[in-house]
Structures are given as C-alpha cells and as structure tokens.
Structure 1
Amino acid sequence: MEWLRPAIDYGIIGLLLSMSVVAVAVALERHLFFRRVSLVDYPNKKLLELELTRKLHIIATIGSNAPYIGLLGTVLGIMLTFYAMGREGFMDTGVIMVGLALALKATAAGLVVAIPSITLYNVLVRRVREFLLEWEGRHG
C-alpha cells in the first residue's frame, strides 16, 4: 500500500494541476477570441452561439470533476493511513496526522482547481449571453 503515497502526491495532485492549466488555457483562448469577434460576420444567431460556446464545456467539466478527483485522493490517503495504523498496531499520533494531512491536501487541491474553473466558466457564459443579446438587438 506504500505505492499510494506517490500516487496521491504525484498522480492525483499532478492530474489536478494539469486540469487547472487546461482550464486556464481554454479560458484565456476564449477571452482572446471574444475580444476579436465581430457580430457583423455572423448573419445567423445559431452560428454565432456555436462559435462563442466552443470549448466552454471543457472548463465546466474540469470545474465539476475536480472536487471528485480531490475526494478520490482523500479516500486513498485515509486508506493509506488506516492501513499503516493496522500494520503497525500502536502508532504515534504524528504519523497519523501526516497521513490525514496528505489526504486533506488532495481535497484542498481539488477545490482550488474547481472554484476558479467554475468562476471562469460563469464569466465566459455571461459574456456569451451579452454577445447574443447584442446580436439580437442589431438583427431584430
């Protein structure tokens, strides 16, 4: 069960870090696209909406799944702690606390990824709605 410690530290936390990078990269790409979009280039509202919402699902997926991946790290960390406690019998409370801290680190990392991702998603969806309302105002 000792393989769980690096799996949590590098696997779960690394996955969450990479998810965070992807979410920020997609949000930045969408923001840059929004800055250069011209409503007159879109005679059809559905085509405009399709272009504006492209890739936003990636940010939403990351934001909604990051807490679960963090929770998986928490469960694995607690399993590792209980396994060590059962194997050693009587343990120093410091060892137990280190295992629980490792578990909670994964939960915190999941939330650190999810909260900004959902915020970025909501900001971008709001901007999409503004574009669509502006297009409707111009085209009737």
Structure 2
Amino acid sequence: MEFVKTYLDLAIFGLLGLMGFLALWITIERLMFYRQIDLKQYHSDAVLNIATTKHLTTLSIIGSNAPFVGLLGTVVGILITFYDMGQNQSIETGAIMMGLALALKATAAGIAIAIPTVMAYNGLMRKVDVLNTLYIDAQNRAK
C-alpha cells in the first residue's frame, strides 16, 4: 500500500498531464491544418472527410475519459485514507478530512482536462462540417 500511496499522484497527474498535452497538440495541429486546407485538391468528399477528421477520435477519447482517470485517482486516494484509518486507530479527524480533500484533487484535474478538450472537439467537428458543406457546394456548382 505504501507504493501506491507514494506514486498515486505521480501516476494520475502524469497521465492527465499527458492527456492534456495530447489534446492541446491535436487541437493546434488541426487548427493549422484547417487554416491551410485547399478543397480543390480532394477528389471526393469521403477523402476530404478522412483528412479533416484525422485525430479527432483521439481528442474525443481524451475528453470523455479524463474525468474517469481523475475519478480513479480519487477512489484510490480515498481507499488509502480508509486504509490509514484502519492501521492507525488514533488518527485525528483533521487528518482524515485532509486525506479525503487531497483525494478529490484528481477528479478536479480530470474535469479540468475534459472540459476544454470536449469544447475543442465540438468546435473542430463544426469546422469539419463547414468544410464538407463548402466542398459539396463547390462540387454542385461545378456540375
């Protein structure tokens, strides 16, 4: 249990940090791609859709799973607090409350990663829809 107690925050916040970094990287990369896209170079709407939705599934996965990673950290943190309470019968109420409060920071971090990631995903999907509509409109005008 001491191993888990020692490395819990490092593991959870490391994973959430990686998820946040990937979400930011994908968002910036997609925005740069959409800014430079030339619809004329695509020969079908399916190929355009594949190009414009690249990596968006990863962004969706991060946005939907970050709260669960944070919740896992919270549950394990609470488990550690209860374990410590069982090992030390004379533990003070303040120490228990401190342990529980610190365990909740993982959920807060997971939510803090998820909210902007889901917002970015929805914004990027809107841009994909706009690009697909512009492409189809250009194809219809060319006919």
Q: What TM-score range do you get, normalising by the shorter chain?
A: over 0.9
Consecutive unaligned residues in structure 1, runs of 5 or more: none
Consecutive unaligned residues in structure 2, runs of 5 or more: none
1:1-140 equivalences under 5 Å are: 1-140=1-140
Work out the CA distance in 2 between the residues paired with 1:13 and 1:5. Answer: 14
**How far does residue 124 in structure 1 lie from its aligned partner after superposition?**
0.3
**How far does residue 108 in structure 1 lie from its aligned partner after superposition?**
0.4
Q: Deviations over 1:31-76 (max 9, x none)?
A: 0000000111112110000000001111101111111111110110
Identity of aligned residues (%): 44
**How far does residue 77 in structure 1 lie from its aligned partner after superposition?**
0.3
Q: CA RMSD in A?
A: 0.9
Work out the CA distance in 2 between the residues paired with 1:9 and 1:23. Answer: 21
Contact 1:67 1:107 (C-alpha < 8 Å) held by counterparts: yes
Work out the CA distance in 2 between the residues paired with 1:12 and 1:102. Answer: 13
SS in 2 for 1:43: coil
**How far does residue 6 in structure 1 lie from its aligned partner after superposition?**
2.9
SS in 1 for 2:2: coil
Work out the CA distance in 2 between the residues paired with 1:16 and 1:62. Answer: 9
Q: Which segments of structure 1 move beyond 3 Å, counting only runs of 4 or more? A: none
Code of the aligned partner of 2:6: P
Code of the aligned partner of 1:8: L
Q: Count residues in correspondence.
A: 140
**How far does residue 5 in structure 1 lie from its aligned partner after superposition?**
2.7
Code of the aligned partner of 1:74: T
Work out the CA distance in 2 between the residues paired with 1:53 and 1:7. Answer: 36
**How far does residue 14 in structure 1 lie from its aligned partner after superposition?**
1.1
